[in-house]
Amino acid sequence: MHSPRETIPPRSTAAVLELLPPFPIVLVTTRTNVITIGQIEYFTFSPLRIGIAVAHSRHTYSLLKAEREFVVNVATAELLPAVRTCGSVSGRDCDKFDAAGLTREPSTVVSAVSVGECGAHIECIVKKEIAFEERTWFVGEVVAARMVPGHRGSDALLCGRNHYVLPGGIVGSR
């Protein structure tokens, strides 16, 4: 016997979005800019390719179209103020590294810079663009990855509907 279910109207976007757990939130860099991105997915595993969805209105969209390289910088809880700044201010209007107190560091393979304060960096070269309505998914092949010694994915910041959270504990092996 199943327990009763509560019906959620399918157009109640906020309520439906509560049904899945919080998702990773990262700082994506190009050569000169940094943006907060929540829409990030592993697209393929062999080779490893990561997709990020960028709205056409973002400064980052024009930069990615021209540069075709990006770095996924994994943010930890200490970087929450920077995540907020990079997710609300446009690089068209200011230098977001200065505004958010972040340090540019050279990456190893791509010309996009890395964020020195982040726990890990995944360098990607764009292999495919998938436009969908007002956003484009830029799918990048992973060409290099680095991390601060001891960094774990469980240190990485997640984003819920109304809160930023950290991953919980392990509940079983896979």
Ligand X SMILES: Cc1cc2nc3c(=O)[nH]c(=O)nc-3n(C[C@H](O)[C@H](O)[C@H](O)COP(=O)(O)O)c2cc1C
Kindly list the residues in this chain that would bind ligand X in the complex (CB under 6 A): 25, 33, 35-39, 53-55, 58-60, 87-92, 159
Q: Nearer Cβ to ligand X, position 78 or 108?
A: 78
Q: Nearer Cβ to ligand X, position 95 or 141?
A: 95
Ranges of H-type helices in 76-168: 80-86, 96-100
**Cβ neighbours, 10 Å, residue 70:** 29
Q: Nearer Cβ to ligand X, position 35 or 110?
A: 35
Give the tokens for residue 174: 């896979």
Q: How far is the CB of 28 from ligand X (least distance, A)?
A: 9
Q: How far is the CB of 101 from ligand X (least distance, A)?
A: 16
Q: How far is the CB of 172 from ligand X (least distance, A)?
A: 29
Contact 32, 6 (CB under 8 A): no
The structure tokens 């990615």 sit at 64
Q: How far is the CB of 174 from ligand X (least distance, A)?
A: 27
Q: How far is the CB of 59 from ligand X (least distance, A)?
A: 3
Nearest to 94 by CA among 118, 102, 16: 102
Q: Nearer Cβ to ligand X, position 34 or 120?
A: 34
Eight-class DSSP state of 117: T
Q: Nearer Cβ to ligand X, position 3 or 92?
A: 92
Nearest to 23 by CA among 120, 153, 139, 173: 153
Cis peptide before 47 (omega within 30 of 0): yes
Which residue in the shown chain puts its C-beta closest to ligand X?
87
Contact 50, 142 (CB under 8 A): yes
